[in-house]
Chains A and B, each alone.
Chain A
Amino acid sequence: MGGEVWTLAEMRAGTLHSVSLELLAWGRGLADTLGVPLASVVLGSGLDGVEKPLFAGGADKVYVVDTPSLLHYYSDAAAKVLAEMARKFSPQIIIASATTQGRSTMPALSAMLEAGLTADCTGLSIRDGRLLQTRPAIGGNVMADIMTPERRSGSNPQGLTNPPQMCTVRPKSRRPLTPDATRSGEVVRYKPQENSLSSLIEFLSFEAEQRVGLPIQDADVIVAGGKGMKGAKNFALLDELAQLLNGSVGASRNAVDLGWAPYSAQVGLSGKSVTPRLYIACGISGAVQHLAGMSGAEKVIAVNTDPDAPIFGAADFGVVGSVLDVLPQLIGALRGKAK
């Protein structure tokens, strides 16, 4: 039996974010296969009761680092705290979400522990007792299986003969386990050294973005627009449809470059990779770079005037026609149903 499997829980604006529970769904199977406990690590401030949803979500153990200096998330401090804890408790696997927090913290932790790190995994399993990580590259056109072999010899200046195998996983690529409120486990309250808690970065302020719905990385439904929307004002149709479907609005690179949508909405190789349950591509022709960002969607609907547009090759359901005709009809029909 080796060390525990750790997942890095994520606090946003003082609340536990649902990616924390997705990570437990990933970790549960791995920990069971290995026959080791599954633990979640939470860093933050004012964390009373945070362990409950984590136990219900599959954790056997919760490490809580609760201190006012972690009120704002600083990746340098978080990495130092996690490095200190990894040296003390020797987990064999650490999984974080590929969010701005996870993607900033895990590389720093990899440098500190000299541990292998694989980005943006879409599959995790155990092979011969080690973590097999599957990740897409080159816009999803290549799937690579990556492992961190056991270190056989040589000293590690970081004092770890066998550093943890680490990865980030794509948000929403797995659903949380059905919560079981009867589950409970061990809470370990950990006090890091003062030096580990210090950050070189100082938080000044946060401005929330005023948009319809969740950030596209978190959305279950994305209604995305491209050049076929023919103008910024027609994006109001997408807002309306997104609202009706409890979704968020995305955009192609073309639409962003034309100023019709903010960069935060861009889906594709130079934007975000998204994994909604439903992706509705409106007036998007389907350049390879765009398809790369939306290929993780469970189901795809495309609306485009050109029957030969590549987007139809990446869609499950297609409507050949103008979005400016089809969308108002669809919105009308959905409104009719809502009544």
Chain B
Amino acid sequence: MKVAVLIKQVPATENVKIDPKTGVMVREGLAVEVNPLDLHAIEEAVRIKERTPGVSVTALTMGPPAAAKAARYAVSMGCDAGVVITDRAFAGSDTLATARVLAEAVKKLGPFDLILAGERATDGETGQVGPLVAALLGVPPLTYVSGLEFGSAKVEARRAVEGGHERVSAPLPALAVVVKEINSPRLCTLSGKLRGKSAEIGVMSLADVGLPAEKTGLTGSPTRVVNVSYPKVTRECRKVSADGGGAVEAMLGFIEEVGV
């Protein structure tokens, strides 16, 4: 059985600082990391591999050549192979143009029985690429997955939806977009780190993917960012001390003002 994991390299959020004067996020010199929600997809793939004989896991990422680092991290966690899909022609891709590249790469490297993806990236925060890839591949889209179980030819998924959990089943091949709740990603072991470091990371270009150039990059993207602004996130805070007395009354007054 072959499993693919779709991952993305994003600016590290743990070290993100807000400029207190401007309220703008300081992004310069930020480290990059594997999108935290993608770690759950990698972990799930590696767990499937560990409990099922004959499973191999390939991590795919689209991005600049430096995104190979994300693929190496996936190998360090236990994936068998990592591939970076990179080409200048991909620059400016929106979610549809990105999903087309990933879907074609999955077809080229496959067939895969299961494709896993994280809920959304912490930078773009669209959550659209996983379901888009499922639709482009014509495989069942299992979204918001918080648990997965395999039969021989089908998969059962537990989905975290508003107000509870839904259990569904689908035939393989399928694509599952997993949520954080599904597992706790492991830390890389020393031997894992060494494996990731020395792993040969596959590289695919636009030509390797075999997608017409007009289907990707800015040309292949139906949407355009026409303006970007940096809103201040700070508010004017009326602060009271709990020691002074009257704090709870003031708080109650504020709640009544809001009128909930």
What residues make up the interface of A, taking CB atoms closer than 8 Å to B?
A: 12, 75-76, 79, 99-100, 103-104, 106-108, 110-112, 114-120, 132, 136-149, 151, 163, 199-209, 214-215, 217-218, 220-221, 245-247, 262-264, 266, 269-271, 277-278, 288-289, 291, 295, 298-303, 307, 310, 312-322, 325-326, 329-330, 333-334, 337
Contacts and interface: CB of A to CB of B under 8 A. Distances in A.
Given A201-B142, A201-B169, A288 B231 contact: no
Given A142-B25, A321-B247, A117 B223 contact: yes
B82 interface: no
Contact of B168 (A151, A202, A208, A270): A202
Given A140-B231, A263-B179, 13 more contacts: A137-B125, A141-B24, A145-B229, A146-B225, A208-B163, A246-B260, A263-B180, A288-B17, A299-B254, A319-B239, A319-B251, A320-B239, A320-B242
Q: Size range of the interface on B?
A: 35 or more
Nearest to B253: A317
B235 A313 contact: yes
B133 to A, nearest CB: 8
A307 B239 contact: yes
A245 B129 CA distance: 38
Q: Main secondary structure on chain A at its contact with chain B?
A: mixed
Contact of B228 (A111, A142, A206): A142
Nearest to B37: A270
Contact of A140 (B126, B225, B233, B260): B233
B166 A111 contact: no
A76 B164 contact: no
Contacts of B17: 288
Contacts of A326: 242, 247-248, 251
B165 interface: yes
Nearest to A17: B162
A247 B166 CA distance: 24
Contacts of B234: 313-314
Given A114-B222, A278-B258, A334-B252, A319 B242 contact: yes
Contacts of A163: 222
13 contacts: A100-B162, A103-B127, A107-B99, A146-B226, A202-B169, A206-B167, A209-B165, A245-B260, A246-B260, A288-B13, A307-B239, A318-B238, A330-B251
A17 B9 CA distance: 36
A333 B222 contact: no
B192 interface: no
Interface in B1-58: 11, 13, 16-18, 20, 24-25, 36-37
B260 A278 contact: yes
A334 B235 CA distance: 26
B139 interface: yes
A269 B13 contact: yes
